[in-house]
Amino acid sequence: MKDSAFTRRVLSIVRRIPPGRVATYGDVAHAAGRTRAWRAVGNIMMNCSTPDVPCHRVVAAAGGLGGYGGNLEMKRGLLRAEGVLVSGSRIRDFRERRWPKAEKPAKKPRRTPPRRLT
């Protein structure tokens, strides 16, 4: 299976993630050139046909591990072995471990319309 430009880019970025550090799908997508392609990033990771790519270092920005083809425990173990504190299905120091760095808060218009309640 050939990888498209985007896929290739994502894989390259994930491979550049230093050990002991984790990157979110959003960060990877952003680095790949597409700020809103985190969905596609996860999709590519799902392939995981590249042993050179530490997919286990890619986690969800929500603080969860995300997924690993069904072997979440393996991913958890790998992250833990790298020094990442994982509590259950949540990373404790995920925020400090984030790579490349923290983001800056920015105001943005709310997407979902205020659905009135009663």
Residues with a known catalytic role: 55
Segment lying near DNA (by CB under 7 A), choices 18-26, 77-85, 91-99: 18-26
DSSP per-residue codes, 31-62:
HHT-TT-HHHHHHHHHH---TTS-GGGEE-TT
100 near DNA (CB under 7 A): no
Decide: residue 90, CB within 10 A, 0-12 exposed, 13-18 middle, 19+ buried: middle
Cis-peptide, bond into residue 100, ω within 30° of zero: yes
Which residues within the stretch 55-74 sit at the binding site for DNA (CB under 7 A)?
Answer: 55, 58, 60-62, 64, 66-69
Residue 54 binds DNA (CB under 7 A): no
Binding residues for DNA, per CB under 7 A? Answer: 1, 4-7, 24-26, 34, 36-40, 42-48, 55, 58, 60-62, 64, 66-69, 108, 110-112, 114-117
